[in-house]
Amino acid sequence: MTDVDLRTSILRHLTYSLGSDADHATQHDWRIALSLAVRDRLIENWHAASRATRAVGAKRVYYLSMEFLIGRLLEDAIVNLRLEDEAQQALTGLGLDPVAVIQDEPDAALGNGGLGRLAACFMESLSTLGVPAFGYGIRYEHGLFRQSFEEGRQIETAEDWLTQYHAWEFERRDVRFKMCFGGEVVEEGGKPVWHGQEAVMAQAYDTPVIGWRGRWANTLRLWSAQPLHGFDLDRFNRGEYAAAAEPEALARTISRVLYPDDTTEQGKELRLKQEYFFTAASLRDILRRFEAEGGALTDLPKRAAIQLNDTHPAIAGPELVRLLHDEREMPLDQAIATARGCLSYTNHTLMPEALERWSEDLMTSLLPRHMQLIERIDAAHAAEQPSRSVSLTGDGEVRMGELAFVMAHKVNGVSALHTDLMKKTVFAELHRLHPDRIVNETNGVTPRRWLLSANPRLSGLITRTIGEGWVDDLEQLERLEPSLTDPAFLDAYAAAKRANKADLADWLAAEHGVQVDPDAMFDVQIKRIHEYKRQHLNILEAIALWRDIKANPQGNWVPRVKIFAGKAAPGYFFAKEIIRLINDVAAVINSDPETNRYLKVIFLPNYNVSLAERLIPASDLSEQISTAGKEASGTGNMKFALNGAPTIGTLDGANVEIRDRVGARNFFLFGMTADEVEARRAVPEHAAQAIAADPRLSGALMEISRGTFSRRDRHRYRGVVANLSGADYFLVCSDFTAYWDAQRRADAAFADADAWRRMAACNTARSGWFSSDRTIRGYMADIWDVVAVRSGLDEAMQPPG
Ligand code: CR1
């Protein structure tokens, strides 16, 4: 199918794959036909990649993750296969609008936020670098919920991406495993044997992930839960329709929904089942492949690097030990050592509520053999420690972070600060026992999606200035350095940003009915809504600014548009209050004729990857204002910097490294450091003190208290105000004054258009280190001990297209 031009291929797929007629085809039909035509162009290289891997017996990376926030796939494939021009011509030639066709694709929202998006960037980089890899996860029927607002409040509805034909996946009917839960462990022939009580099938679905220039493609293998047995016809014939359908419904529950929460455990039993389901299916698949290729089991670590993305797949430790020891008769100590040789673990948060703990009772009833093995692993580990201070269980719970740590040969944090804090806080004892185990791998983002494809104006300018090499090697952006003093380059840079902002302004008017001035500063905070991320600090500043403008409407104000987007976990009441408050404040401020030339506040619903791609290239200021010590890394912060939006931020997560690279002058730093935060929290009445010391802060809080933003319901935000003026755990009040001052520094800088565009361009030129290619190279060298296979084999592979 790759022997014909794209237009012919689209028309053939429209006719023969969809059975549709060009005269009646809908946008959806055209989009699927285009997707299939593009997909044809990558299949041969996908197969060649796995042949090349097998031919050299290469070690593979297996990335186990509950989440892969991949977003739309069509544009990624078009860009990486370099089919932009051909696709554009084919579509316009067929009388279609290329943008509309591409945007017809629903986002695959198989993740909550940073952790899931990181996994997606990693998959793309692994393919770009030609590293043999599989991503393993769950094929959720419903991705992250869809968010809308009703009177400012978040409303959640089911996301249903799979109700549309999904052109990118292949069902592998030959790759199915039976997964068991519950039951008991009995002695048989002197060996413990687990007899599960409940069973479901894990069915594999594969999606190719194509790298830059289409030279290599890896596989994202997602598991779907299916019933073991077909439909119960007997019961159906007896008229028991619901009962006949029950086993199927129950089995499917496991892959039904993505838990809409990235920091707290919930839906306990089902969640643990999901974790075991996909982890165990993946391990079985890995062992099947290893055994088919031949080799001594103790050599497994030479062929398989298994990365645990957070603790969600931490059951991989005991499960791999079980597969090696119980099912393949490897001695226990050797099984533990072999498993550890394969496994490594990435920690993504220090928030105590997010470090998973499962009750021993639940673990025993759902996974009885694993509970026994966890105790054996714990005992083996205790024997190594003189003081026996670390235990995998305690208070009736199994500690999954500790389990993942003990079963991994390397454990990594996701930014320098975060890794340092891991060593000093949550894993202090384990770090003391295993001082070489913790390493840092600062996060990164794929430049193909987040610059080349999301921001064609800026990437075109970069390519015209320094050539195209930056797409493979983002650190080449440094070569823009001499242009940072070239007025012609800076003009073009500013023009690209201005055009992106004008596009966004048009879209905001058309889709959301809000008018904004493209020359105002676009100040953007987009991420999950969480107290530690402090969207409420941002909105308090907006209220204070509004009051200042009203007090002096003739002042020399720098016009601002504050844009928010993000979802709150449905059960996280306070986060939902923050959303409502922002919407309520927006309603009042935006309709104030005295101030709305200077200040607008917009909360865009249903934040997802595609909305991020639209907003980031059009942003001026990046809000990264978490309480220091709480944001493990951040990756949005990197996308903004790369696209020329300087950061206003605290010394938290990867902000620290961004500031080091872009330069202190090109970053609006404010707030307490992680150490100062701890000290400040110990000061009694810290919030009350901060409020008393800053009339702007007390004024903003008073404005909320007196019901300005909740006219019919004066006490609506009593809880928010009480929280902020009381415990204020995330130190919003104590950082307010510094934040206000930093915002005014940003205003002054923005008012000097020449200085601002230079600052923006510096951010782009100096952010090359934040490529996920660099991060993956770090994992390859420090953790996985794998090499790329691409080199030398390119010739044997099909040229793209
Ligand atoms: C962190 O909060 C980090 C991503 C990816 C998130 C964020 O700071 O950039 O992981 N953690 O490493 C998370 O989702 C469950 O924890």
Question: Same domain for 17 and 68?
Answer: no
* CB of 350 sitting under 6 A from ligand 1: no
Is any ligand 1 atom within 6 A of the Cβ of residue 492?
no
Q: From the alpha carbon of 653, which atom of ligand 1 is closest?
A: 8
DSSP classification of residue 240: -
- Tell me the best of 69, 115, 122 to mutate to test the pocket of ligand 1, counting ligand atoms within 8 Å of each CB and taking the most: 115
146 falls within a domain: yes
Q: Which residues of 355-366 are buried (b: 16+ CB within 10 A; e: fewer)?
A: bbbbebebbbbb
CB 589 within 8 A of CB 551: no
**pLDDT tens track for 191-243:** 999 999 999 999 999 999 999 999 999 999 999 999 998 778 888 889 888 88
Residue 172 domain-assigned (yes or no): yes
* 657 shares a domain with 581: yes
| 95/138 same-domain check | no
Residues 415 and 309 in one domain: yes
Q: Report which secondary-structure segment, H or E, holds 356.
A: none
| Residue 188 located in a structural domain | yes
Question: Tell me: the pLDDT tens digits for 503-512?
Answer: 999 999 999 9
Q: Per the domain annotation, does 688 fall within a domain?
A: yes
Assess contact for 739 and 647: CB atoms under 8 A.
no
**Cα 138 to Cα 647: distance, rounded to the nearest angstrom:** 35
Indicate the helix (H) or strand (E) that contains 510.
Answer: helix 487-512
8 A C-beta contact, residue 63 and residue 133:
yes
- The mean pLDDT value for 134-160 works out to 97
Tell how far the Cα of 577 is from the centroid of ligand 1, in angstroms: 22
When pLDDT is averaged across residues 297-314 and rounded to a whole number, the result is 98
Query: E strands within 579-685?
Result: 599-604, 621-624, 647-649, 668-669
Tokens of 763: 């951010």
Ligand 1 atom nearest residue 263's Cα: 15
- The strand pairing partners of 210, in sequence order, are 217
Integer Cα distance of 222 and 207 in angstroms? 8
Which ipTM did the prediction report?
Answer: 0.99
The domain in which residue 656 lies consists of 518-766
Q: Are residues 703 and 747 in the same domain?
A: yes
Task: Give the contacts of 786 (CB within 8 A, at least 6 positions apart).
Answer: 58, 59, 60, 61, 131, 132, 305, 780
- Residue 725 confidence (pLDDT): 97
Measured distance CA(236)–CA(248) in Å, rounded:
13
Tokens 């090359």 belong to which residue? 768
Q: Is the CB of 67 under 6 A from ligand 1?
A: no
Give the range among 110-124, 175-189, 405-419, 780-794 with minimum mean pLDDT. 780-794
* Co-location of 157 and 295 in the same domain: yes
Selection from 44, 126, 149 nearest residue 790 by Cα: 126
Q: Is residue 754 included in any domain, yes or no?
A: yes
Q: Are residues 95 and 120 in the same domain?
A: no
- 629 domain-assigned: yes
Number of domains the chain contains? 3
* H helix or E strand, kind and range, residue 439: strand 438-440
Same domain flag for 397 and 527:
no
Q: For 748-799, what is each residue's pLDDT tens digit?
A: 999 999 999 999 999 999 999 999 999 999 999 999 999 999 654 454 444 4
Q: Let me know the angle formed at the C-alpha of 586 by 620 and 641, rounded to the nearest 5 degrees.
A: 15
In this structure, the answer to whether residues 398 and 543 fall within a common structural domain is no
Task: Examine residue 448 and state whether it is found in any structural domain, yes or no.
Answer: no
Helix (H, G, I), strand (E, B) or coil at 225: strand
Q: Looking at ligand 1, which atom is closest to the CA of residue 414?
A: 12
Which CATH number fits the domain that encloses residue 540? 3.40.50.2000
Question: Which residues pair with residue 136 across a beta bridge?
Answer: 64, 221
Residues 135 and 46 in one domain: no
Task: Assess whether 281 and 348 both reside in one domain.
Answer: yes
Query: 117 CB less than 6 Å from ligand 1?
Result: no
Each residue of 372-387: pLDDT tens digit? 999 999 999 999 887 7
Specify whether the CB–CB gap between 353 and 266 falls below 8 A: no
State the chain's mean pLDDT as an integer.
95
Within-domain flag for 534: yes
Give the C-alpha separation, 119 to 258, whole Å: 15
Q: Are residues 39 and 61 in the same domain?
A: no
Q: Residue of the nearest CA to atom 9 in ligand 1?
A: 634
